[in-house]
Chain A
Amino acid sequence: MTDVSSEVRELAGREYQYGFVTDLETDVAPRGLNEDVIRLISAKKNEPDWMLEWRLKAYRGWLTMQEPSWQKARYAPIDYQDIIYYAAPKPKVAPASLDEVDPEVLAMFDKLGISLAEQGRLSGVAVDAIVDSVSVATTFKEKLADVGVIFCSFSEAVQRHPELVRRYLGTVVPRRDNFFAALNSAVFSDGSFCYIPKGVRCPMELSTYFRINAADTGQFERTLIIAEEGAYVSYLEGCTAPMRDTNQLHAAVVELVALDDAQIKYSTVQNWYPGDAEGRGGIYNFVTKRGKCAGANSKISWTQVETGSAITWKYPGVILQGDNSVGEFYSVALTANHQQADTGTKMIHIGKNTSSTIVSKAISAGHGQNTYRGLVKVLDSASGARNHTQCDSLLLGGDCGAHTFPYVEVKNPTAQVEHEASTSKIGEDQLFYCRQRGIPEEDAVSMIVNGFCREVFKELPMEFAVEAQKLLSVSLEGSVG
């Protein structure tokens, strides 16, 4: 029998089940970063000149920028010359159909529980599978094309839909938005591209699965989703990486654009390798995600479940430009072992009667440090703007921490902004109550934590909600000594 604290200390022992490495023949760029490496990446992808120019401008901007230090996370300095910026499983030419995908790659995804081969028959989810720097397969393309939806890798979009990429790339997250976004803009390798034409409701969930496989590589994906007037799309992303002793950098940029009456729902289950019990290894997840409600009555909703990564640094935000537009952010962040998460959102109200909702649930265990950092900014143009923010933290044990930094800037007197916050410890009382009813301790912890997250889980698409609950339970496994 254990008391709560010793039991929670055991959280450190949680096992990461996606930590295997697949032996793929990989084409890599030389270590380090300079203009030649960027030219190499661009050439590998056979990119047009404008794309290379765009990258080089980003790189030159990045050289003048400083790595941010305001986030509440501690880590050793990153040597940007010791990272490999491009790694691709061979063959590097994108396969025309699933039959041409390397069987090793298909087997790897099977092992991750995502059967690309069976996608066509079984589930109603279209998947873009990305390994290291390239997209290896995209399912359901033809079916989506029938309704005019474009869903492909970013590289393919640059080749086949350059006008759309040029029109929207960097319009939500500018090249020099921040240090990591600038780095991404210079070296981004692949990612997903979605375009939903006017009036189309995307007939299935779109999903990207990111997998880091090669060692010492950074992953710099770039995702761009555009919903034209009246369009609707629900997009999911999942991520895993092998267990390695060294830290790996993942600096992604995601841009969403919603025009009049359009809706984008973006869900993430992030389970990058978090490092071991002593805090060795794990992914640095430094990500810039932002959506722009460019049109009136548009809506962008972010839902994230963050259980992985050694350090998470991300603030999926919404620029509420169109009148009556709506932004939502629902987040569950779990930090165990020595994980650090500094995450939250930015809601920028520009249009009239814009509204935003923020629900953040932070769970800290072991030596985990969990920070909510959010900005609600109401410009003077945004009359009638409303925001409701709710931040709840749950502590498991005495060695972890929860922090909340809400920033609120209001320039319009008609705005209403509400903020609620709570911090609680997983109660001995709650645990005892469950156990007295016959529920074993481990199940009780998992039940209480899942209950705490319910408001967020109910925003996830069904399959993902089940996945997320399982993930939390696995993360909490071994919590009883």
Chain B
Amino acid sequence: MLRIENLHASIGGNEILRGVNLEVHAGEVHAVMGPNGSGKSTLAQVLAGRESYDVTGEVLYEGEDLLALSPEERAAAGVFLAFQYPVEIPGVGNLYFVRTALNSLRRRQGLDELDAIDFLSLARERMGLVEMDESFMSRSVNEGFSGGEKKRNEIFQMAVLEPKLAILDETDSGLDIDALAVVAQGVNALRSEGRAMLVITHYQRLLDYIVPDVVHVFAEGRIVRSGDKDLALELEQHGYAGVEQRAALTPSAAPVGATP
């Protein structure tokens, strides 16, 4: 589904991604782990189409050149990013926002738009996945939401928009343990054969709830090691420094896109 080859990205002359290679198949959940500042979030932003980066390399998504598409075209093609810092939009109702998004996608896909009533029943059902209260729907997008509420709102939007490739950028940050369980339960409910997920996280604890098929260690702008879910545990024990050292000894680490 997604094939990244030698992806470089820089901002203001500062190179952040330094040759990322990655392959993700439909139905897989890949975790990308790494220390702060290693470029994990930049990878997420570049895949979603953030325009502030200078990007080289190749990203094929379902055989198409992803980098040639605008952010909204990528969204219509099924790419979804759950933001690390969901953005507040004062005065724009949350439900209205999500309906506008869904209908924009449907228009691009040549489908009929959902009217307010049909949309409401869909939204109600999906709210249940992340145990979200209906009162959130009439509030402005993310305005005055707690950290946990914002993250739930991201997963709720993902549940409504039903992407093919979901990128979750530090969805666990700022969540207490109960909220983490709820969000993870929502994510797990959305795992399916046709859908791939790229879960970016700093901590192993999220992976106790969302069990990945493949784990990648990210350092200094590229993937330095890949393995199965046990790699995450190894990280937990030895820390990133330990794993990087080991990686340095075996430079070309695991093959990309190792399937479970």
A interface residues (Cβ-Cβ under 8 A, vs B): 1, 3, 427-430, 432-441, 443, 447-448, 450-455
Q: Are A447 and B92 in contact (CB under 8 A)?
A: yes
Which of B69-77, B173-181, B194-202 touches A? B69-77
Q: Are A439 and B91 in contact (CB under 8 A)?
A: no
Q: Which of A432, A434, A438, A447 has the most CB of B within 10 A?
A: A438
Once bound together, how far apart are the Cα atoms of A450 and B100, in whole Å?
14
| 28 chain-A/chain-B pairs, Cβ below 8 angstroms | A1-B51, A429-B87, A430-B89, A432-B48, A432-B71, A433-B83, A434-B89, A434-B101, A435-B49, A435-B72, A437-B104, A438-B72, A438-B75, A438-B76, A438-B102, A438-B104, A438-B105, A438-B161, A439-B72, A439-B100, A439-B101, A443-B100, A443-B104, A448-B89, A451-B91, A453-B91, A454-B91, A455-B91
Q: Are B90 and A452 in contact (CB under 8 A)?
A: yes
Whether, in the assembled complex, B138 has its beta carbon less than 8 Å from a beta carbon of chain A, the answer is no
Once bound together, how far apart are the Cα atoms of A437 and B99, in whole Å?
10
Q: Are A435 and B92 in contact (CB under 8 A)?
A: no
Q: Are B100 and A451 in contact (CB under 8 A)?
A: no
Whether, in the assembled complex, B66 has its beta carbon less than 8 Å from a beta carbon of chain A, the answer is no
Chain A positions within 8 Å of B86 at CB level: 433
Whether, in the assembled complex, B41 has its beta carbon less than 8 Å from a beta carbon of chain A, the answer is no
What are the interface flags for B45-77 relative to A under an 8 Å C-beta threshold, 1 for contact and 0 otherwise?
000111110000000000000000011101110
Which of A430, A440, A441 is within 8 Å of B87, CB to CB? A430
> Which residues of chain B from 97 to 139 have a CB within 8 Å of any chain A CB?
97-98, 100-102, 104-105, 108
Which of A436, A448, A452, A455 is within 8 Å of B48, CB to CB? A436
Q: Are A438 and B101 in contact (CB under 8 A)?
A: yes
Looking across the interface, which residue of chain A has its beta carbon closest to that of B98?
A437
Whether, in the assembled complex, B22 has its beta carbon less than 8 Å from a beta carbon of chain A, the answer is no
Which of A433, A443, A451 is within 8 Å of B90, CB to CB? A451
Q: Are B91 and A435 in contact (CB under 8 A)?
A: no
Whether, in the assembled complex, B81 has its beta carbon less than 8 Å from a beta carbon of chain A, the answer is yes
Q: Are A436 and B91 in contact (CB under 8 A)?
A: no
Nearest-neighbour CB distance to chain A for B258, whole angstroms, equals 29
Which of B70, B74, B91 is within 8 Å of A452, CB to CB? B91
Whether, in the assembled complex, B204 has its beta carbon less than 8 Å from a beta carbon of chain A, the answer is no
Once bound together, how far apart are the Cα atoms of A279 and B90, in whole Å?
32
Nearest-neighbour CB distance to chain A for B50, whole angstroms, equals 6
Nearest-neighbour CB distance to chain A for B137, whole angstroms, equals 15
Q: Which of B48, B71, B88, B90 has the most CB of A within 10 A?
A: B71
Whether, in the assembled complex, B10 has its beta carbon less than 8 Å from a beta carbon of chain A, the answer is no
Chain B positions within 8 Å of A454 at CB level: 90-92
Chain A positions within 8 Å of B71 at CB level: 432, 435-436
What is the size, in residues, of chain B's interface with A at 8 Å between Cβ atoms?
Answer: 32
Q: Are A437 and B48 in contact (CB under 8 A)?
A: no
Looking across the interface, which residue of chain B has its beta carbon closest to that of A456?
B91
Whether, in the assembled complex, B185 has its beta carbon less than 8 Å from a beta carbon of chain A, the answer is no
Whether, in the assembled complex, B157 has its beta carbon less than 8 Å from a beta carbon of chain A, the answer is yes
Chain B positions within 8 Å of A451 at CB level: 89-92, 140
Nearest-neighbour CB distance to chain B for A420, whole angstroms, equals 14
Nearest-neighbour CB distance to chain B for A451, whole angstroms, equals 3
Nearest-neighbour CB distance to chain B for A60, whole angstroms, equals 49
Once bound together, how far apart are the Cα atoms of A434 and B49, in whole Å?
12
Q: Are A436 and B81 in contact (CB under 8 A)?
A: yes
Looking across the interface, which residue of chain B has its beta carbon closest to that of A452?
B91
Chain A positions within 8 Å of B52 at CB level: 428
Looking across the interface, which residue of chain A has its beta carbon closest to that of B48?
A436
Q: Are B92 and A450 in contact (CB under 8 A)?
A: yes
Once bound together, how far apart are the Cα atoms of A434 and B50, in whole Å?
12
Once bound together, how far apart are the Cα atoms of A477 and B191, in whole Å?
40
Once bound together, how far apart are the Cα atoms of A448 and B92, in whole Å?
7
Nearest-neighbour CB distance to chain A for B109, whole angstroms, equals 10
Chain B positions within 8 Å of A453 at CB level: 91
Once bound together, how far apart are the Cα atoms of A437 and B74, in whole Å?
9
Which of A432, A439, A450, A455 is within 8 Å of B50, CB to CB? A432
Nearest-neighbour CB distance to chain A for B209, whole angstroms, equals 24
> Which residues of chain B from 192 to 250 have a CB within 8 Å of any chain A CB?
none
Chain B positions within 8 Å of A441 at CB level: 72
Once bound together, how far apart are the Cα atoms of A451 and B105, in whole Å?
21
Looking across the interface, which residue of chain A has its beta carbon closest to that of B45?
A432
Once bound together, how far apart are the Cα atoms of A438 and B48, in whole Å?
11
Q: Are A437 and B75 in contact (CB under 8 A)?
A: yes
Q: Which of B51, B80, B157, B161 has the most CB of A within 10 A?
A: B51
Chain A positions within 8 Å of B48 at CB level: 432, 436
Chain B positions within 8 Å of A428 at CB level: 52
Once bound together, how far apart are the Cα atoms of A441 and B104, in whole Å?
11
Nearest-neighbour CB distance to chain B for A437, whole angstroms, equals 4
Q: Are A447 and B49 in contact (CB under 8 A)?
A: no
Nearest-neighbour CB distance to chain A for B43, whole angstroms, equals 15
Chain B positions within 8 Å of A443 at CB level: 100, 104
